[in-house]
């Protein structure tokens, strides 16, 4: 079963390789979508894939990179977009 979510990660998550590591983790898990920095200092992801893979990606977002400090993660279920790859944007 496929799941599609939007994730907002708050804390010290910009300038600490969060987006790059997220793309590595997405590739490892086989999820598709995108990740980008937001002007307010958060990182936003739109991710879809198997429910298990998406859950694992969200769990990774809660841990972040060894250089980041995640304070809060918000997850919202969204409509399926049909992404084919995972990209870093913004």
Catalytic option among 28, 36, 37, 55: 37
Give me the DSSP letters along 34-82: EEEE-TTS-EEEEEEEEHHHHHHHHHHHHH--TT-EEEEEEEEE-----
Question: 32 catalytic, yes or no?
Answer: no
Q: At what angle do helices 18-29 and 51-63 cross, to 10 degrees?
A: 150
Question: 44 catalytic, yes or no?
Answer: no
Catalytic option among 19, 44, 63, 72: 19
| Active site (catalytic) residues | 19, 37
């Amino acid at each position: 079963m496929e799941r599609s979510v939007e994730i907002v990660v708050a804390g010290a998550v910009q300038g600490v390789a969060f987006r790059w590591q997220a793309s590595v983790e997405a590739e490892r898990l086989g999820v598709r979508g995108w990740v980008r920095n937001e002007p307010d200092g958060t990182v936003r992801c739109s991710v879809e894939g198997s429910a298990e893979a998406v859950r694992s990606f969200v769990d990774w977002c809660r841990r972040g990179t060894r250089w980041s400090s995640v304070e809060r993660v918000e997850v919202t279920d969204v409509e399926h977009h049909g992404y084919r790859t995972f990209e870093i944007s913004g």
